[in-house]
């Protein structure tokens, strides 16, 4: 048999649900901000790694190119 709730109980349950929904929304926003910050940090690290690796790679390629052009005596 279904339980019968009074108007006061229904209002209290609705308020409790709204409070918990608000808390979960807040926690979701905080978690989203943390994920966005983590992604930004990882993207920054990736970009700096690519720049550093590109400099090293092109430096070695430039040295090979110069060695190929210069005729040893």
Q: What is the pLDDT along the chain (73 residues), one digit of tens a residue?
A: 778 889 999 999 999 999 999 999 999 999 999 999 999 999 999 999 999 999 998 988 888 888 888 766 6
User: b/e map of 31-47 (b: 16 or more CB within 10 Å)?
Assistant: eeeeeeeeeeeeeeeee
How far is residue 4's CA from residue 39's CA, in Å, rounded to a whole number?
A: 50
Total-model pTM: 0.66
Tokens 């649900």 correspond to what residue? 17
Domain spans of the chain, in order of start: 37-67
How far is residue 13's CA from residue 20's CA, in Å, rounded to a whole number?
A: 11
* Residue 1 tokens, joined: 């048999």
User: What residues contact 5, with CB distance under 8 A and at least 6 apart?
Assistant: 13
């Amino acid at each position: 048999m279904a339980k019968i709730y009074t108007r006061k109980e229904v209002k209290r349950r609705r308020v409790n649900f709204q409070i918990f929904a608000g808390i979960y929304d807040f926690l979701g926003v905080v978690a989203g901000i943390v994920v966005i910050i983590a992604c930004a940090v990882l993207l920054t690290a990736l970009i700096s790694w690519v720049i550093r690796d590109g400099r090293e790679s092109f430096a070695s390629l430039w040295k090979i190119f110069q060695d190929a052009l210069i005729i040893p005596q």
